[in-house]
Structure 1
Amino acid sequence: METATDGQREIRRTLRDLLDRYARPTPEGYDPALWARMSGELGLARLALPELALACEETGRALAPSPLLATTVLAAPLVAALGTPAQRAELLPRIAAGELTCALAAPGGSLAHALGLTGDNTTGAWSGDGRAGGVQARPAPGGDGWLLYGEAAQVLDGHSAGLLLVAAHTGGFARSRTLLLLVRTRDAGPGLVRTRHAGLDPTRSPAAVQLRDVPAELLGEDPADPADITRALAAAGRTAAVLLAAEAAGAARGALDGALGHATARERHRLADLHVRVEAARTLTHCAAREPGPGPESGPLALAQALDALRDAAGEAVPPHDADRYGRRAIADALLFGPAGRLRARAAERTGLLGPAGEAAA
């Protein structure tokens, strides 16, 4: 790996110390005071991609529950890319300061598809395809805003977020289009019901979000261009893949360190190959973080490598409690953002190596 700068080493050292002391699951899913320090004092939302990848690696190593993924990695870039000047001026400073947490609700049940990681998000299938189900949007009476009706499952931090970014259909089936709308949860009224599920991994917080004529506002200018929305989702997905890879690689390193700490000399020799795979995942991740953009395939490929490394490292973790914790994270992340094989297949499709159906290109 490339030698870290003094600033990057300080970010890693400070965050590791903070997480080792205070990172614990809570009934709310995360510690708001710890998040305020991470986002406010350390300025995570203002870090450049390489430094943010280092921070994500540390949160992954500690399996730290926080709104970093849902708020900073997924939602904030969409507000920055699509929001009106007034929306950006109101929301982004509060997000950066740790005062406002967010969640992205993609009703189709496949967040990875919505972000363009495992499929073409220009098709409507990931969000219900305009048919029954998903979330439907209709203009509010008097033309002041929108009303949302429907539900979304597996919304990361959806139970506690102060702002929901909801992908919803409008226009009926024949003229269906997907929009992103903002729901301010404090003002949503009784029509918003949010139920947190235990999930596979207690450090992630998926929730079911039900909306029954919940008031919302369009993210961005009216009329919104659905092509702009899918492009912004795909761009957010490419960056999210890099940071998710950093988290997974950090978790793999944490599991491996635990295994090495309990290993005999013979077992340490056996773990040498796993060490190489984990370090390869970390190197790919930091290379992807340094690329401008990042490149359309580097992030998903790094994520695939990191998910595989985490799965293998979780199988070696000791004591049994650690093996269970890392194993749950490996399975949960593969279900939410993978699996690794599908990430690689989509990257190959984008480069022209495979056709849309997965056949080798002529």
Structure 2
Amino acid sequence: MDARFTAEQDEIRRTVRELLLKRSGPEEVRAAIRTPAGYDPVLWEALAGQLGLPGLALPTAYGGVGCSVTELALACEESGRALAPSPLLSTAVLAAPLILALGTESQRSELLPLLASGELTAALAVPGAGLATALGLVGDNHGDWAGGGRAGGVQARQVEGVWRLYGQAAQVLDGHSADVLVVAAHTGGFARSRTLLFLVRDSRDSREGREHRNRRERSDGGLVRVRQTALDETRPQARIEMRDVEAELLGEGEGSDVTGALAAVGDTAAAVLATEAVGAADRALERTVEYVKQREQFGRAIGSFQAVKHRLADVYVQVQAARSAAYYAAWAAGTRTGAGSDAGAEARADAGSDAGSDAGAGAGEQRVGALALAQALEALRTAASEAIQLHGGIGFTWEHEAHLYFKRAAGDELLFGPVHRLRAYAADATRLFDGEVVV
């Protein structure tokens, strides 16, 4: 493994950082999260239309750039530094890889170029609060998280050859503004219950819809989107209610390994989220170091006190360790899935065959995203906590950005963790405490 970044990767980081420094400062972030869409559409147009970030890890055959997961992770690291709200995570990290892995050639050719260009955004909707379980990060995703064939969750049935969805999905990232929903639903009843993925599309113009949607919105066909009040406002979430909603089956259905594809996407998403958290932690530490050099107490800068130096040195070591783990996880995910292969069939085979059963089966596939995410979230929480403490009273107020970083750490743990469950499932999957280690 060559740990050095290429000139192209360094250029991606530099370009994204420069753009976000100009257009996504603390005040711009607060203004963006108050909009109906939850993000700045002008900034999204720059990230997607000018820089092509949603298509970084998509094959060139479908309008992507053809890079690997590493390039996408580096871009998200810069996004994490600024806490820039955007549909990049929901579109490029969660939804688009599932369409690439499981979709038919027609579905991939129709949707992926539009997602890569940013003209459309997408969101992954799973029932209840089971996103981490569905992605195979904190437990086996072969369970009943999608409803189990019983009441609850999201159910799908065919009526005169048309699929219809019934149920509710909570905590859907960017679900209120997404043009395409990838919905996990159970079908087949109790005896033949299985989880499949379905596409629910917005029939209205995408840009106007995203910019003018209300807090609670009901569209034709029984689809209700309710934007939720989230702890981390930089990650807008919605509750999706479906009552007799027409949907399109993603892929061929019977031959699709949905849980395997979700587990593969989950590992990649964890690696990307880890680098994003590292970027946020690094920025929180950077701002804290700047502040302790200026704030004076007893006639000297508080940064000159040995106790403060030790606290920040510990944070620095933790952030650097998390960065190494995150980079390795991104490299491993890119090695497993291939660097933007033009062959959609290869991506589908990868998601269906080797990703799948459980995390233990993937240990030999370098599936280390969950562990990297646990370390990065812990580093971010520590860095944000120290930022609040060392900034004194101002660190607790809405006027300061330190609390935004702390809420990002707590919010990501609620969505994709918590840390102890990420580590516990990784240990169980490798049978770490059973006397036999899977290598």
User: Normalising TM by the smaller chain, what interval?
Assistant: over 0.9
Query: Counterpart amino acid of 2:378?
Result: D
The answer on whether the counterparts of 1:297 and 1:347 sit within 8 Å (CA) in structure 2 is: no
Match of 2:209 in 1: none
| CA contact 1:61–1:254 (8 Å) conserved in 2 | yes
Match of 2:100 among 61, 68, 80: 80
Q: Which amino acid aligns with 1:134?
A: G
The Cα shift of 1:38 comes to: 1.1
2:412 to 320, 333, 345: 333
The 2-side partners of 1:2 and 1:315 are apart by 30
Task: Report the AA paired with residue 10 of structure 2.
Answer: R
Partner of 1:233: 262
> After superposition, what is the alpha-carbon deviation per residue over 1:96-145, rounded to whole angstroms, capped at 9, x for unaligned?
0001100111103210100000000122x2212221111111113x21x2
1:190-201 alignment to 2 at 5 Å? Answer: 190-201=221-232
Of 424, 427, 433, the match for 1:345: 424
Among 105, 112, 115, which residue is 2:132 paired with? 112
State whether structure 2 residue 171 is matched by structure 1 residue 171.
no
Using the TM superposition, give the Cα deviation of residue 225 of structure 1 relative to its aligned residue in structure 2, in angstroms. Answer: 3.6
Query: What's the CA shift for 1:312?
Result: 0.3
Distance (Å, rounded) in 2 between the aligned partners of 1:274 and 1:208: 36
* Conserved 8 A contact 1:192-1:209: yes
- Partner residue in 2 for 1:68: 88
C-alpha distance in structure 1 between counterparts of 2:198 and 2:366, whole Å: 26
Match status 1:32 vs 2:62: no
The question of whether the paired residues in 1 share the 8 Å contact of 2:223 and 2:240 is answered with yes
- Quick one: distance in 1 between partners of 2:81 and 2:436? 39
Paired residues of 1:238 and 1:296 also in contact (CA < 8 A): no
Question: What is the correspondence of 1:305-316 to structure 2 with a 5 Å cutoff?
Answer: 305-316=375-386
Deviation at 1:163, TM superposition (A): 0.3
Q: CA deviation at 1:3?
A: 3.6
Q: Check whether the contact 2:221–2:246 (CA below 8 A) recurs between aligned residues.
A: no
CA distance in 2, matches of 1:91, 1:339: 33
Q: Which residue of 2 aligns with 1:204?
A: 235
Q: TM-score scaled to structure 2, two decimals? A: 0.77
Task: Check conservation: 1:109, 1:127, Cα contact below 8 A.
Answer: no
2:147 touches 2:155 (CA, 8 Å); kept in 1?
no
In the alignment, which residue of structure 1 is the partner of 2:272? 243
RMSD of aligned Cα (Å): 1.8
What whole-Å deviation, never above 9, does each CA across 1:176-224 have from its counterpart, x for those lacking one?
1111000002276141110101200110011000011111000001x43
Matched, 1:262 2:271: no
Q: Deviations over 1:238-273 (max 9, x none)?
A: 100100001111111111111111121222343111
Q: 2:167 aligned with 1:150, yes or no?
A: yes
Instruction: Indicate if the aligned counterparts of 1:136 and 1:169 stay in contact, CA closer than 8 A.
Output: yes
Moved more, 168-177 or 65-74: 168-177
Residue 336 (structure 2) aligned to one of 272, 275, 293: 293
Q: Deviations over 1:135-185 (max 9, x none)?
A: 111113x21x21111111000000000000111111111221111000002
Q: Structure 1 pair 354/128, CA: closer, same or farther in 2 (3 Å)?
A: farther
Task: Find the aligned partners of 2:250 and 2:275 in 1 and give their Cα distance.
Answer: 29
Contact 1:316–1:323 (8 Å) recurs in 2: no
Task: Answer yes or no: is the 8 Å Cα contact 1:158–1:209 preserved in 2.
Answer: yes
In structure 1, C-alpha distance between the alignment counterparts of 2:309 and 2:13, rounded to whole Å: 26
Aligned length: 353
Contact map agreement 1:108 1:128 (CA 8 A) in 2: no
Structure 2 unaligned residues grouped into runs of 5+? 57-66, 205-218, 293-302, 338-364
1:281-308 Cα offsets, whole Å, 9 max, x none, are: 0111111212222745421111000000
Regions of 4+ moved over 4 Å: none
Instruction: Tell me, yes or no, if the aligned pair for 1:311 and 1:327 is still in contact at 8 Å.
Output: yes
Shift of 1:349: 1.6
For residue 275 of structure 1, what is the amino acid of its counterpart?
Answer: Y
Structure 2 counterpart of 1:329, one-letter code = R
- Paired residues of 1:56 and 1:247 also in contact (CA < 8 A): yes
Shift of residue 361, structure 1, vs aligned partner: 6.0
- Decide whether the 8 Å contact of 2:200 with 2:248 is kept in 1: yes
Distance 1:208 1:257, change over 3 A: same
Give secondary structure in 1 for the equivalent of 2:325: helix
- Paired residues for 1:184-195 under 5 Å: 184-186=201-203, 189-195=220-226
Q: Which amino acid aligns with 1:40?
A: G
TM-score normalised by the chain length of structure 1: 0.93
